[in-house]
């Protein structure tokens, strides 16, 4: 998992604006600021998604399976669009 963090300078040089990194426990969102990344709570690409929400669904995926997680995510997404 740590190998992907060591690639952050490469992503920065390429101008990748946002990186999501999951360490097996928690997902963090990183935004490019100048020439390095800063941790932030919310995705710029998908503003409804926060690191907490993404971590919750990744945990559900591991514990409850893919189908149930997709249903739960779809239900959550529909409540956000109201």
Number of structural domains the chain divides into: 1
Q: Span 74-79, mean pLDDT?
A: 94
Tens-place pLDDT, residues 13-70: 999 999 999 999 999 999 999 989 999 999 999 999 999 999 999 999 999 889 999 9
Give me the residues paired with residue 38 across strands: 31
Q: What local confidence, expressed as pLDDT, does residue 82 receive?
A: 63
Structural domain for 68, as ranges:
2-80
Give yes or no for residue 12 having a pLDDT over 90: yes
Give yes or no for residue 1 having a pLDDT over 60: no
CA nearest to 17, candidates 39, 2, 37, 41: 37
> What pTM value is reported for the model?
0.85
Contacts of range 6-12, beta carbons closer than 8 Å, 24 or more positions apart: 8/36, 8/37, 9/36, 11/37, 12/36, 12/37
């Amino acid at each position: 998992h740590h190998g992907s963090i060591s690639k952050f300078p490469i992503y920065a040089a390429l101008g990748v604006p946002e990186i999501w990194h999951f360490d097996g426990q928690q997902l963090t969102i990183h935004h490019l600021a100048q020439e390095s990344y800063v941790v932030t709570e919310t995705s710029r690409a998908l503003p409804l998604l926060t690191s907490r929400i993404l971590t919750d669904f990744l945990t559900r995926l591991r514990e409850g399976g893919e189908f149930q997680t997709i249903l739960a995510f779809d239900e959550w997404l529909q409540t956000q669009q109201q």
